[in-house]
A and B are shown apart, each in its own frame.
Chain A
Amino acid sequence: MNVLILGCGRVGSTLARQLSQEGHSVTIIDLTGDAFRRLGPKPKAQRIVGTGMDQDVLRRAGIETADVFVAVTQGDNTNIMAAQIARRVFDVTKVIARIYDPIRAEAYRELGIETFCTTTLATSLMRSSIDGDPRMKPVEAILQDMDREYREQISVR
C-alpha cells in the first residue's frame, strides 16, 4: 500500500515507522527537516520537506499514486485543507485527518473525510474510566498493550 502522511509529530512518525516496518511504502511530509529525527536512525520512509497544502509538494510526494492519505499536523485547519485537496483534487480513496476540535471533526466527517477527534476520544475514554464503565476493563488492557508495543518498537529501532 502507498501511504502518504502529513506531519511528522508523535502520531505521524509512529504511523510511518509502523507501516514501513510492515512493508508498506510510506512517504512523510513535514515543514521542517528536523522533525524527521522522530523517525529514528535509518528511517525507511521517504521524507519530503514542504507544506502539505501545496499541490506541487503533494505531487512530489507521490499523492497521485497514494492509496491512503493521513493528515496529522498540529493545525486542524491545515489537516482539513490538505485532506480536502487529497480527496477532491487527487481523488485519494482513503483520507484520514486528526482534528482536535470536535465540531470541525463532525462537520468534515460529513463531507467525506474520515476524521479522528482525539479530544472526544480521550475524554470519553477517561469519562468511562471515571464512571467505572465495565466496558473499560478490556479497553484498558488494549491501551496497555498498545503502549508496550510502542515502547518496544522504539527500543528495537
Chain B
Amino acid sequence: MYVIVVGAGKVGYYLSKRLMNEGHEVLLMEKDRRRAAMLVEELGDVVMQGDGCEIRVMSEAGFGRADTIVAVTGDDEDNLVVCQMAKRQFSVPRTIARVNNPINEDLFSKLGIDTSVSSTALIYNMIDQQIEPGQIIPIGALRKGNIEIVTINISENSPVLGRPVKDIGLPDRALIISIIRDENALLPQGDTRFMPGDSVIALVSTQDESSLRSVFTEAG
C-alpha cells in the first residue's frame, strides 16, 4: 500500500516508521525545512519537504496513486484541508485525519474525511473507564449507519450478573460480539452467563446506547 503521511511531528514520525516496518511504501511530508532536513538524514528518500496543501507539491508526492493519506499535523485546519484536497483533486480512496480539538471529529466526518482520530478523546475515554466501571465506553465507530463499538465492564452489582445473554433484554439495535473473561475472548451464545469482572464488547446504534446502558447498570 502507498501511504502518504503529512506532518512529521512525533505522531507522523513513529507512524511512518511503523508503516515502513510493515512493508508499506511510505512518504513522510514535512513543511518545516529544518525538521525535514533532519529527518532526511535518518530516513532518507522517504522524507519530502513541502506543504501538503499545495497542489504542485501534492502531485509531485504522488497523491494521485496513493491508497491512503494520513494528516497528522498539530493543526486541525491543515489536516482538514490536506484530506479534502486529496479527496477532491486526487480521488484518494482513504483519508485519515488527526484532530486535536475533539469536537472536530464530528465536523470532519460531515466534511467528507473518512476517519478522524482524536487522541484527546481517546485518553479521556480511558480516564473515564477507570473512574466509572459499568459505564459504556466507546472504543470505535463505524462511520456509516452510526454504529459504535463499545465496551462495558460488568461490576459486582450489575443486574445482568448470572443471567444468560438471551434473557437480559438487549435493545434491538445492539449485538454482543464478545465477552472478555480472564484474558480470554469468548464468543457468547444465548445461554452464556455474565460474571463479575467480564468486559463485554458490543456493537450498538447510537440511538440505542442509553437503553443498552440501562440493561447493564445497577437498577435505581
Contact = CB atoms under 8 A, between A and B. Distances in A.
The answer to whether A and B come from one shared complex is yes
B110 A107 contact: no
B157 interface: no
B79 to A, nearest CB: 9
A84 B55 contact: no
Chain B contact patch, size range: 10 to 19
B80 A103 contact: no
Contacts of A103: 54-55, 89
B145 to A, nearest CB: 20
Interface in A65-124: 75-78, 80-82, 84-85, 88-89, 101, 103-104, 107
Nearest to B106: A89
A149 interface: no
B111 A88 contact: yes
B142 interface: no
Given A104-B85, A107-B89, A81 B77 contact: yes
B83 to A, nearest CB: 11
Interface residues of A, number: 18
A34 interface: no
A78 B88 CA distance: 18
B81 interface: yes
A84 B111 contact: yes
A54 B78 CA distance: 15
**Main SS class of interface, B:** helix
Given A54-B101, A77-B77, A78-B77, A101 B54 contact: yes
A105 to B, nearest CB: 12
B209 interface: no
Contacts of A53: 76-77, 101, 104
A53 B101 CA distance: 10
A66 B81 CA distance: 25
B54 A80 contact: no
Contacts of B84: 107
Nearest to B89: A107
Contact of A104 (B53, B103, B107): B53
Nearest to B111: A84
A55 interface: yes
B75 interface: yes
Nearest to A73: B77
A81 B81 contact: yes
Interface in B56-82: 75-78, 80-81
B113 to A, nearest CB: 11
Contact of A75 (B55, B77, B110): B77
Nearest to A110: B88
A75 B81 CA distance: 12
A55 B81 contact: no
Given A85-B107, A88-B110, A101-B54, A77 B80 contact: yes
Given A80-B81, A107-B88, A55 B111 contact: no
Given A54-B103, A85-B107, A107-B89, 9 more contacts: A53-B104, A55-B107, A75-B77, A80-B80, A80-B81, A81-B81, A84-B107, A84-B111, A89-B107
Interface of B: 53-55, 75-78, 80-81, 84-85, 88-89, 101, 103-104, 107, 110-111
Closest 3 CB pairs of A and B: A77-B77, A81-B77, A77-B81
